[in-house]
Structure 1
Amino acid sequence: MAIHHRLIEENRVAKRTEDAGARPVNRQDYPEDRFDRIARSGRVGAHRVTARPRYTWQYLIAALLGFAILTTLGVLAVHAIGDAGKLPIRGEGLTSSSGQTQPDAEINPDATIAVLNGTTTEHLAAAVDKIVTEEAWGKILFSGSASAADVQISAVFYSDPADEGAAAGLAAKLGGLSTYTTTDYDQYGAQLVVLIGADYQGPGLTEAAQIAAETDPGTDGSISMGGAGGGATAEPEIDPATGWEIDPATGFPIDPATGLPVDPATGLAADPAAPAS
């Protein structure tokens, strides 16, 4: 009887096993890809990302170079701005004699000279005129105010290279002024043109103060700046268009070459007795 029951149980187990083997399995085969051949390693997740090299030293060098370039440009810009407008020259074609072979400085008593006062110090051109004449440093053709009263640098100008030595000699007598070659002042008809600026420390400053004191007794004898003291100026009025002295009688500019007033409308010498229209 026991054997019979055991056989029945074995048949049941065999039946269940057969049924399980015949049951269909829901499985789908996929083609093989690169993920089926991943090499075994100890890394998982984000740790599998390869670290990129860092170039901190390159950024540091670029920053230093940029700083050096900007600093250099800033220094050059400051120097350019500081040097702007320092030369009291009205036109182009200026040549300095400082960097060239200097001829012997000599005083030419026959050299014609024009003196222009580019400062607010009254009577300075007249004072320098007087000293140049008394010392026989040249022959004054004209002395008066320049077209501007804010000239900063004093200098002696000449247009003919043959006058370089005479310009250097006169510049030395007037306190060691610089000399330049230019044609900007040819209208004065003088070989040498002395332009007095704010830096002038040559002879004539004391004499200008004395002239101011004599002209206006109310002054204390000091140098008059900007018309201080209210005294009348002895320097003639200058025509801004030509730079020539204006004739008080006609109102026309006086040609330094002829000494006659010239009508700007016609370019001809005007009748001194006829007032300007």
Structure 2
Amino acid sequence: MATSFQHDRFDEIPSNLQRVGAHRVPRKRGRGWVAFAWAALATVVLVGAGVVALFVLNGNLANGTGPAASPQSSEPAPVESEVPAVQPTVDPALAVTVLNGTERAGLAAAAGDTLAAAGWNVTTRSNAATEDVAVSTVYYSDPSLEGAALGAALSIPGAGIALSQDFVDLGEASLVVVIGANYPAIDEPAE
């Protein structure tokens, strides 16, 4: 049983259409490049607008006219008070111990003589427990002795100071000077 359908306008297909599939027309050449060109142009325009906006905002912020600029006040900024620097002092009442922290003999005696000539009370001159001290250092255990430590360090070439509890057990010494390898060589007497 064959059914027949009525003929309508969809049954007539033009011969120049060259359709592929049910209702597809072949794509025109170059159509993808047009879409890509429009997308690239839109990207360039948006990036350019963003760069110009940043330059405008940065220029305004640098001039102090932008939205994040701090308000100008007529009061000057408070000046931080400087912590008074500790002045080096020489206190002959303080006991000073001098230790040689190098392999070179006689440095404790030479440094002790230098300190004694500067007015210090050098009570002990000996060798340190280690012989690989690089930098001469004046150790003090009480922060109130910082000025005295600075004064002693000025008498020892290249010496620094350090607040330390390492030498508290040495008894009467208020300052402990450990001579390091940076101490200048002493002149040895010719035989």
TM range (shorter): 0.5 to 0.7
Given candidates 103, 108, 120, the residue that maps to 2:103 is 120
Q: Does 1 or 2 have the higher relative contact order (CA < 8 Å, sep 6+)?
A: 2
Q: 1:136: Cα distance to partner?
A: 5.1
Partner of 1:140: 122
Partner of 2:186: 206
Are residues 177 and 38 of structure 1, via their aligned partners in 2, closer, same or farther at CA, if it must alter by over 3 Å? Answer: farther
CA distance in structure 2 between the partners assigned to 1:38 and 1:172 by the alignment: 100
CA distance in structure 1 between the partners assigned to 2:166 and 2:126 by the alignment: 17
Partner of 1:169: 151
- Normalising by structure 1, report the TM-score: 0.38
Are residues 41 and 166 of structure 1, via their aligned partners in 2, closer, same or farther at CA, if it must alter by over 3 Å? Answer: same
What is the DSSP-based 3-state SS (H/G/I as helix, E as strand, rest coil) of the residue aligned with 2:96?
strand
Counterpart check, 1:40 vs 2:39: no
Given candidates 155, 159, 168, the residue that maps to 1:186 is 168
Given candidates 66, 69, 91, the residue that maps to 1:108 is 91
Given candidates 113, 127, 151, the residue that maps to 2:133 is 151
How many residue pairs are counted as aligned between the two chains?
121
Deviant stretches of 4+, over 4 Å: none
Q: 1:169: Cα distance to partner?
A: 0.8
CA distance in structure 2 between the partners assigned to 1:193 and 1:37 by the alignment: 102
CA distance in structure 2 between the partners assigned to 1:41 and 1:119 by the alignment: 94
Are residues 136 and 110 of structure 1, via their aligned partners in 2, closer, same or farther at CA, if it must alter by over 3 Å? Answer: farther
Question: Quick check: 2:158–2:183 contact (8 Å CA) kept in 1?
Answer: no
Give the greater-gyration-radius structure (CA): 1
Counterpart check, 1:197 vs 2:180: yes
CA distance in structure 2 between the partners assigned to 1:40 and 1:102 by the alignment: 90
- Normalising by structure 2, report the TM-score: 0.54
Q: 1:115: Cα distance to partner?
A: 0.8
Amino acid paired to 1:106: T
For residues 112-147 of structure 1, give each alpha carbon's deviation from its aligned partner in whole angstroms, at most 9, with x where no partner exists: 0111111111111122223323x1532222221111
CA distance in structure 2 between the partners assigned to 1:101 and 1:193 by the alignment: 25
CA distance in structure 2 between the partners assigned to 1:38 and 1:116 by the alignment: 103
Amino acid paired to 1:174: I
Extract unaligned runs of 5+ from structure 2: 1-19, 29-35, 37-82
Partner of 1:258: none
Amino acid paired to 2:100: N
Are residues 101 and 176 of structure 1, via their aligned partners in 2, closer, same or farther at CA, if it must alter by over 3 Å? Answer: farther
What is the DSSP-based 3-state SS (H/G/I as helix, E as strand, rest coil) of the residue aligned with 1:206?
coil
Q: 1:163: Cα distance to partner?
A: 1.4
Q: 1:101: Cα distance to partner?
A: 4.2
Extract unaligned runs of 5+ from structure 1: 1-34, 44-50, 52-99, 218-277
Question: Quick check: 1:109–1:136 contact (8 Å CA) kept in 2?
Answer: no
Amino acid paired to 1:39: R
Question: Quick check: 1:107–1:166 contact (8 Å CA) kept in 2?
Answer: yes
Q: 1:41: Cα distance to partner?
A: 2.2
- Percent identity between the aligned chains? 32
